[in-house]
Amino acid sequence: MKKLFGFIAALTLLASSQVFAQTTKPTQESLQKLFEITEVSSMIPKLQSQLEAAVNHLVQEAMKGKTITPDQQKALDAFRAKIIKIQNDEISWNAMEPRIAEIYGNTLSQADVDGMIAFYQSPAGISFSKKMPEIMQQTMNMMQKMMGPLMEKMGAAQAELAQDLKPEVKSDVKPEVNPDLKPELTQASPQK
């Protein structure tokens, strides 16, 4: 009986340690190691340059076919520089790392992070990590190509909605007659 009780206790302890490992939040150190191995911080400058290109493209598209004065061009250049500075300040590794760590910590267990670290240290993981910037670049290019037709369709839908919301003109409505006018002026005079 003691052996059976010992066996059950050992199984319970083993099962609870497995559950604990799968539900324990990852440590800050393990997240830092994962970020270092995946070189996620090196992706930020590439993302910033892609966003800068997207801003430049949007400004060019907005001004396409329009004649602008030198003062307007200065204002556009200042706007573009301001937007890019805001992006670069907000989308920096220093600004994003604590937020990403919090998301990972709230979503992943220590076992998940340990498994990811093992994967990214494997040959397949190293290869994937090195190819990830190219995957992201191609994904961003694809999304930019999709945005043009998407914006056109959204603009057409918006124009259609504006047309649908215009008040209808009723043909059975008669124009009002000013009561101060003489009746003979408001009625068609008989032909002689």
Across the chain, which has 192 residues, the per-10-residue mean pLDDT values are 52 51 85 92 83 86 88 90 89 90 96 97 93 88 91 92 80 59 51 50
What pTM value is reported for the model?
Answer: 0.52
Q: Which has the closest alpha carbon to 114: 31, 8, 184, 45?
A: 31
For residues 114 and 30, give the distance between their C-alpha atoms in angstroms, rounded to a whole number. 7
Residue 1 confidence (pLDDT): 56
Residue 4 confidence (pLDDT): 47
Ramachandran category for residue 32: left, alpha or beta (phi over 0 → left; psi -120 to 50 → alpha): alpha
DSSP 27: P
Ramachandran category for residue 65: left, alpha or beta (phi over 0 → left; psi -120 to 50 → alpha): left
